[in-house]
Amino acid sequence: MRKSILLSLCLSSSLLLIAQTLTVENQFVRPLSDVLNEISTRFNVRLKYDIDTIGKILPYADFRIRPYSAEESLTNVLAYFDYKFVKQGNNVYKLKSYEYPRRIDEDGKKMLAYLNTLYKDQASWEARKALLRSEVREKLGIDTILKQRVNTKPILSKVRKFDGYTVQNIALETLPGLYVCGSIYTPAKKGKHPVIICPNGHFGDGRYRKDQQQRMATLARMGAVCVDYDLFGWGESELQVGGVAHRSSAAHIIQAMNGLSLLDYILTRKDIDATRIGANGGSGGGSQVVLLTVLDNRFTAAAPIVSLASHFDGGCPCESGMPISLAGRGTNNAELMAMFAPQPLLVVSDGKDWTASVPTLEYPYLQRIYGFYNATDKVSNVHLPQEGHDFGPNKRNAVYDFFADVFQLDKKMIDEDKVTIEPQSALLSFGKKGELMPENAIRSFNDVAVYFDKKLYSNLKSDAGLEKKATDWVASLQLENEKDASFVRTLIYNHLRQVRDWHNDHPYTTIPEGINPATGNKLSKLDREMIADSAMPKEVHDKLMNGLRRALTEEQVEQILDKYTVGKVAFTLKGYQAIVPDLTAEEESIIIGHLKEAREKAIDYKNMKQISAIFEIYKTKCEQYLNNNGRNWRQLFKDYVNKRNAEKAAGKK
């Protein structure tokens, strides 16, 4: 008798546990959703959900509620699942997953107050700084990667001449076959120039966008050589490792290596003044500025823009993928930036992102550290309370003024109207599709993984496999619009990764042992896996399906779903056609409908055993339908088996 888990999917750990009496033996468990509803009612507060509560069981639930405080009750209840709340108004709380790199202003205030107790003067600060510098390098793993770099000549394009400046593209090989691509903006005037390394942030269109070119070119017109470059997995780097590689811990290390490698190269040029080396970037580029100054003491001026905070380490793995914030038993970007004292530092902040706290929190802290060197005049903050998270004109003007002062640049050359905005194609070293890429160039994220430790390699290899799967599936559609193809690739990759991560984070052992009511047998490991995985938030499924249907035709959507399930709809239908040779068109239509339902549900499960189990459920539905339609499924199946056995026996004679 075929095993069915139809009803076991309807089970959850809550049903299995709540059936028992609430005692110390079962830890007074209650469903999380029930507890939150009680808190909402008891304290007359409204809860907005950005978390999943399905199947979540809370031990000692009622004992976590504090009758005198909604917020203490929420803290006690949510912390068990690594959730948190954010107050959004009177009696309104949004429930969110805890984000280790993103905290709140109050956390930053407490952290800086603690850090301030660790040093009282320049000597104690220098000791702390030495410890941080050593541990950041160790936790980032930068030295291991730097030792594996190659030393080859960069690939340079022809120089393009404009009004007061020139632009030249560069492709620098760092690890064997791995290139970082960027552009070098140089003053038209001869002489020794300061250099500013400009890591890119997460703004749309990357380093090819208008405001990036305006800033690079204007600083060059003023007298500085500026070097900008792609984020790992963005721009031309995406041609080598794919876009999903950017959201990996490897990106954190490789981007730092890229910035240092470009600095090493640019300092070999005879027109560079090695005593004037700056770093400037916005958002994620600002996070890189902080890290570069910690890793290399050659920098003499720095300007992180709309980035610096004591309570936010950077939300992308390229900023916080490696645990550098754990250096010195705990640090943050404000303290890491303070290590730059007493060199000139500009911090630009705004009122509509996490940098809103800078004037009252991070800036006073930086002034204290700079005070150890009698250099409070060397640190400045330009705060734009009415502005948001961008690299707009006021931010750029602050950068121009800062570097003009510290590097003696020519302010009379500040005129963005003189800048020629080039098309993205002009800034590429390898062509739009990588057709000019060197023969030795890496073509897969998996090829980069070999340079990292085994644990990280395993994660990278898994991610690379999912990326390849998404890439191959989308390639089979032969989409003409690359923007649509990129969107669908990312959509599928993210879904595959979420399914994998949910499965790995919710093993079958999280589901108590029990009885499968469909069979009367003890729940198997597969049963319990299916129950655990079925609790994955519905939004994960809906995001994939809505995105696919928005970007693709229904036929193309079906092609992708067939890829997920290895063509099980067609394969299973072929079996029914063989077992029921006179299958009617109506019967076939009903069966196909059930199998397509199975296919769409199965995409949220990780492996073929689970996918097959989903199809078994819907095959049972198909067979029940045939029985209800006047067929005798058991007899049909028996006749088919007898026929196949007879054919095999005849073939042996």
Angle at 357 between CA 356 and CA 362, to 5 degrees: 130
Q: Residue 151 pLDDT more than 80?
A: yes
Parallel, antiparallel, or unpaired for β 193-199 and 165-173?
A: unpaired
Answer yes or no: do 81 and 130 share one domain: no
Q: Which domain holds residue 589?
A: 461-642
Answer yes or no: do 92 and 124 share one domain: no
Q: Tell me the average pLDDT of the chain.
A: 91
Say what angle helices 525-534 and 608-628 make with each other, to 10 degrees.
90
Answer yes or no: do 86 and 227 share one domain: no
Answer yes or no: do 58 and 186 share one domain: no
Q: What is the identity of the amino acid at 189? A: K
Q: What percent of the chain has pLDDT over 90?
A: 75
211-223, pLDDT tens digit by residue?
Answer: 999 999 999 999 9
Would you say residue 446 lies in a domain? no
Would you say residue 152 lies in a domain? yes
Domain termination site, one of 72, 97, 122? 97
Answer yes or no: do 121 and 75 share one domain: no
Would you say residue 223 lies in a domain? yes
Answer yes or no: do 479 and 593 share one domain: yes
Say what angle helices 585-602 and 568-579 make with each other, to 10 degrees.
150
Would you say residue 649 lies in a domain? no
Domain termination site, one of 35, 64, 97? 97
395-419, pLDDT tens digit by residue?
Answer: 999 999 999 999 999 999 999 999 9
Would you say residue 353 lies in a domain? no
Answer yes or no: do 523 and 622 share one domain: yes
Answer yes or no: do 41 and 119 share one domain: no
Domain termination site, one of 67, 97, 127? 97
pLDDT bin (cut points 50, 70, 90) of residue 28 is confident
CB 64 within 8 A of CB 28: no
Say how many domains are in the chain. 3
* CATH code at position 242: 3.40.50
Answer yes or no: do 569 and 465 share one domain: yes
CB neighbour burial string for 205-243, b if at least 16 within 10 angstroms, e if fewer: ebbbeebbbbbbbbbbbbbbbbbbbbbbbbbbbbbbbbb
Lowest mean pLDDT among 48-62, 266-280, 484-498, 527-541: 48-62
Answer yes or no: do 28 and 79 share one domain: yes
Would you say residue 456 lies in a domain? no
Answer yes or no: do 502 and 560 share one domain: yes
Would you say residue 356 lies in a domain? no
* CATH code at position 89: 3.55.50.30
Would you say residue 286 lies in a domain? yes
Hey, what are 77's tokens?
Answer: 């209840």
Q: Residue 10 pLDDT more than 90?
A: no
Answer yes or no: do 86 and 119 share one domain: no
554-589, pLDDT tens digit by residue?
Answer: 999 999 999 999 999 999 999 999 999 899 999 999
Hey, what are 206's tokens?
Answer: 């990357």
Q: Tell me what pLDDT residue 653 has.
A: 63
Q: Tell me what pLDDT residue 457 has.
A: 66
Ordered DSSP codes for 39-83: HHHHHT-EEEE-S--TT-EETTTGGG--TT-HHHHHHHHHHTTTE
Listed in order, strand segments (DSSP E) in 98-164 are 155-156, 160-162
Chain mean position to CA 257: 20
